[in-house]
Chains A and B, each alone.
Chain A
Amino acid sequence: MKKKIVSVQDFESDDPIAWCPGCGNFSILKALKQAFVELGKKPHEIAIVSGIGQAPKTPHYLRCNAFNGLHGRTLPVATGIKLANHDLTVLAEGGDGDGYAEGGNHFLHAMRRNIEMTYLVHNNQVYGLTKGQTSPTSGLGFVTKTSPTGSTSPQLNPLLLAIASDCSFVARGFAGEVEHLTALIKDAILHKGFAFIDILQPCVTFNRVNTFKWYADRVYPVDDGPGYDSSDRITAFTKALQWGDRIPIGIIYRQGRPTLDGQLSAITGQSLVTQQIDSESFSSIFESFK
């Protein structure tokens, strides 16, 4: 196949977009396309797995391979795809309900496995598709139809959880900072291991607390400041704890450790899917049963 330069048009899908006008997802979609173009990835080289919610509709609005599966089950499907064909650039994408509630267990174990893939969580701190219920990342006291007197559990801190799980790439982006987010997604895709980005995404319909302005007034990039060492886990914990008047975005923690896919002898030569089934190779398999 001839090498050709890809453009944003190569990633245009003709599927009509079903998000609310002004939704933070539009910026994330834009950042994704831009990242693919800047990395020179072609549509067929990419597979995006998504769950259920508003965020998981994203792959339909792109031209690339896509598997839109069950609520919360993105990471196991992405794991299967990557192990079967590690030549694909694999991304998993979902919302805060999908990733931090329904799929919490898979998130923990995907970080342990450290398979080379990128996991994007569109975190709007509220349930959108089901029309405005509380989320694991909703603030304490957040009022919704299922928490009319205010959310009674403190919000989950996904970054702390990821650093504690020794996730090899932990970042936070903001849908309002498209260029910064594009750079983060590129770094995540290039990372040799499981790369996780929690993306602050304003929900214009159901979250009247954590609005675009609310986030914009608080976020600041960590990678700008001198002396921030993202490989230092204790520093990363400290940074991840920060939430309130100031919210850090950027690569909070990054470390190199062996990937699962890099250690499997079955795919040191070629990807599983390109290996032919050779019946002759089984001719001695019965010997130990005789």
Chain B
Amino acid sequence: MAVDVSIRIAGQAGQGIQSISAIMGKIFTRHGYYVFINQDAESRIRGGHNFDQIRVKDQPVYAIGDKMAYLICLDGNAVDSDLPDLDENGIMIYDGEKSKFQSGNSHHFSIPLEQFAVQAGKSKIMVNSVATGAAFALMGFELQPLLDRLKEEFAAKGGEVVENNQNSASSGYRYVKNNFKGISANQIPTGPFKKQKLLLNGSQAMALGAICSGLKFYSGYPMSPATPIMELIASVADQYNIILEQAEDEIAAINMVIGAAFAGVRAMTATSGGGFSLMVEGLGLAGMTETPAVVVVAQRPGPATGLPTRTEQGDLQFVIHASHGEFPRAVLAPGDAEQAFYLMAKAFNLAESYQTPVIVLGDQHLNDSYYTVDHLALDQIPIDRGSIRFDDQISSVKDYKRYAGQETGISPRILPGLSEAVLYADSDEHTEEGHITESADIRIRMVNKRMRKLEGIRRQMASPKISPPKKSDIVLLGWGSIYGAIKETVQLLNHEGIDAQMIHFSEIFPFSAVPFLTKLKKKTKIFAVENNFTGQFADIFTQQTGSSIFHKILKYDGRPFAPQEIVKQVKEQI
């Protein structure tokens, strides 16, 4: 039997929704399932209304479901706001003692969550563990893997915290076993249990990709949704000899990164659109001084402060064009956690090979969502440090020229202090030696030299993912985190007998040559799907390929697409 179950955990900020979803998600992953978890949170520390959704499937999954098989309500408000999203036969857990809602539906289970939390866990805060225990019982899972997982999760907080959580989960679990006998709806078969697949979110994948690529220096200023990248790197910085410095602002962050990269180490920063706005001058400095810099921009809805904890793909044109003046850069936009890992590695290689900034574009949906990944392979991320010369033979080079290399645009690089040669880097227009110049001839030569690198980068850009490969009547065109939603949309359409395929770009700028266009039928209808108002990638696509977009499906309410929403809009147009 195919498994595709969506679980929503809803309540207030501070009730531990995210820790439950991470705990449950990992147990499902260990039972062999693929999991996708997305967060819907308000920008506050306590109160309000938040939820996480866990989708559990026996096939790889990268998108949210539309109807929930389980709804776990940690407070009374959640019942009112989230019940409409529960499937007809869905199961709800709620605390009848704390909610005015009383249901006659046999699938709605009132459990005294708060009372058990206080009795078994010694605190109201344990409501989440009571509910998790109850949910596991209803799903047909064993208790022990949950108890083990709670121990793993809370071990650092001490034995008492572990015990309180375990007792809470046990009380919820037993209450269901004792009081709701014979309920078997929506159970999830438990497969063999082993730690093999990974469960990680986009931010974690980016941080791991950077670390495994030899990241040595990170500087950043906290900003949602990019902060978890910094926090993961900080947690292992001492172990892998990485220096992480929290900067006074994003301007300092990117300039520190440029300094560290100039001195010869792999360096990066991460921020969201607002912080990137402050970094823009520094981005141009990296372009002009030909310093490798990797910048993650995890988008959120703007402008200004926008919706701090929600998602949007509104900064694509911004990051492609950011800065005054012209210089080469690359923009990569991974579609899921696995791509995020490998594209970070590519970002560092491109940055060092072409001695210029590379931007990795995420968004709240990608960065905060958890994905099950089968395997991440270190041997698939070769480290290419470009034209750096580490040998001290160059001590004989008296007249090293930092900006030599007209033909390819790529200059031989030495690192300051590692040989007897010296180098000058300059943000003014400069000579091959790196000294300030006003010469018109040199200006032309230097602009040509820098821009030549753009053609080199263009040749490194991978083609889009096309699935299924055969020519189709309908194309769903997307980029970045939209990947999972359009991939599943195509599957749903194909299942209904509608001929459709996905074309997904994760390596966006410079836009690469277009061999895939030959794979399009003349009458193919292209639907561009994006989380923004204008269809920013659709415009680039049309400009670069001459192919017109049949219809744009756009969403800018700060929430991700469910595939079913896209299916509906496609069907309305054909």
The answer to whether A67 touches B289 (Cβ under 8 A) is: yes
- Which stretch from B160-168, B197-205, B453-461 is at the chain A interface? B197-205
Known: A64-B422, A67-B262. Contact between A76 and B251, CB under 8 A? yes
Interface positions, chain B 352-378, Cβ under 8 Å from A, are 376, 378
B462 sits at the interface (CB 8 A): no
A116: min CB distance to chain B, Å: 14
Question: Does B427 lie within 8 Å of A70, measured CB to CB?
Answer: yes
A59 lies within 8 A of chain B by Cβ: yes
Are A272 and B217 in contact, CB atoms less than 8 angstroms apart? Answer: yes
Tell whether B35 is near chain A: CB-to-CB under 8 Å. Answer: no
CB of B419 within 8 A of CB of A272, answer no
Q: How far is the CB of B211 from chain A (nearest CB, A)?
A: 7
How many residues does chain A have at the interface if contact means C-beta atoms less than 8 Å apart? 58
- Chain B positions 210 through 248: 1 when the CB is less than 8 Å from some CB of chain A, otherwise 0: 011110110100000000000000001110111101011
Bound complex: CA of A160 vs CA of B28, how far in Å? 60
A45 on the B face (CB < 8 A): yes
Q: Is B395 an interface residue (CB 8 A)?
A: yes
CB distance from A280 to the nearest CB of B (A): 8
Min CB gap A88→B, angstroms: 5
| A73/B417 in contact, CB under 8 A | no
Q: Are the C-beta atoms of B258 and A69 separated by less than 8 Å?
A: yes
On whether the beta carbons of A265 and B238 are closer than 8 Å, the reply is yes
Segment from A189-197, A247-255, A281-289 that makes contact with B: A281-289
Q: Give the docked Cα–Cα distance between A286 and B198 (Å).
A: 7
A66-B255 CB under 8 A given contacts A83-B217, A85-B416: no
Query: Is there an interface contact between B255 and A76, defined as CB atoms closer than 8 Å?
Result: yes
Contact of A88 among B199, B241, B416 (CB under 8 A): B416
Is A42's beta carbon under 8 Å from chain B?
yes
A80 & B259 in contact (Cβ 8 Å cutoff)? yes
Query: Is B195 located at the chain interface by the 8 A CB criterion?
Result: yes
Q: Knowing A1-B420, A264-B243, say if A84 contacts B216 (CB, 8 Å).
A: yes
Measured in the bound complex, the distance between the Cα atoms of B262 and A42 in whole Å is 19
Of the residues A44, A60, A286, contact of B416 by C-beta under 8 Å = A44
Residue A105 lies at the interface, judged by CB distance under 8 Å to chain B = yes
B interface secondary structure, majority = mixed
Q: For the complex, is A81 an interface residue (Cβ under 8 Å from B)? A: yes
- Is A88 touching B417 in the complex (CB atoms < 8 A)? yes
Q: Does A27 contact B (CB under 8 A)?
A: no
**A66-B425, A77-B255, A272-B216 known; A83 and B245 CB under 8 Å?**
yes
Contact A84 B252, beta carbon cutoff 8 Å? no
B265 contacts across to A, CB distance below 8 A = 84, 272-273
Bound complex: CA A234 to CA B247 (Å): 30
Tell me, yes or no, whether B196 is within 8 Å of chain A by CB.
yes
Known contacts A76-B247, A85-B416, A289-B200; is-contact A66 B240 (Cβ 8 Å): no
* Distance (whole angstroms) from the CB of A290 to the closest CB of chain B: 4
**Using a CB-CB cutoff of 8 Å, which residues 1-46 of chain B contact chain A?**
29-30
Given contacts A68-B427, A77-B258, A83-B243, is CB(A60)–CB(B436) below 8 Å?
yes
Return the chain A residue nearest B263 by Cβ: A84
**B243 touching A69, Cβ below 8 Å:** no
Q: How far is the CA of A1 from the CA of B200 in the complex (A)?
A: 48
Q: A69-B255, A81-B260 are in contact. Are A266 and B242 (CB under 8 A)?
A: yes
B418 to chain A minimum Cβ distance, whole angstroms, is 7
Does A163 belong to the interface (CB within 8 Å)?
no
CA distance A47 to B419 in the complex (A): 13
Asked if B83 is at the interface of the complex by the 8 Å CB criterion, the answer is: no
**A108: interface (CB < 8 Å):** yes
Q: Does A76 contact B195, Cβ atoms closer than 8 Å?
A: no
Interface string of A249-278 (1 = CB under 8 A from B): 000000000001000111100001111010
Given contacts A60-B435, A273-B216, 6 further A-B contacts (CB under 8 A): A15-B436, A47-B263, A77-B255, A79-B245, A80-B257, A80-B267
A-B pairs with lowest CB-CB distance, top 8 = A80-B259, A277-B214, A76-B255, A84-B263, A80-B260, A65-B416, A77-B259, A80-B256
